[in-house]
Structure 1
């Protein structure tokens, strides 16, 4: 397994972890609590979780990182450091 620390690999791992976690929670809620969320609500919760976690990281100030952060609608005051 490749353990890269690039912004794209970090976001990919966050996406996988958050999606797995929230789908598992949704499954348990449907089985044991008889409650359901819409797919759109589930997607929004996953996106918010990833955005919140991304705010705790520091990334190098590169064009690729800037493009990724713009795509994820991160604030302009995001924590970047020089190359």
Structure 2
């Protein structure tokens, strides 16, 4: 059975030491910061950047997008993007 978006989000949360969510929800800033750390995208953890900046940085680090410009990823992660992140964290 294919994984749902919620399954992928929870797998990613577990992989970076965050807790699963009962309800369907996008990642919090703190969860995105943990993913940034896990994939090697450096951010200022004293003042977390906007979500779009962290999402773009994560996808850029994984080679999913060509730039880490926040306006390129101004939406919650799509299923294919979640799959790419989950695959990277499985390695």
**TM-score, length of structure 1 as denominator length:** 0.28
Q: Which protein has the bigger helix share?
A: 1
Q: Which protein has the bigger strand share?
A: 1
**TM-score, length of structure 2 as denominator length:** 0.26
Q: Whose Rg is larger?
A: 1
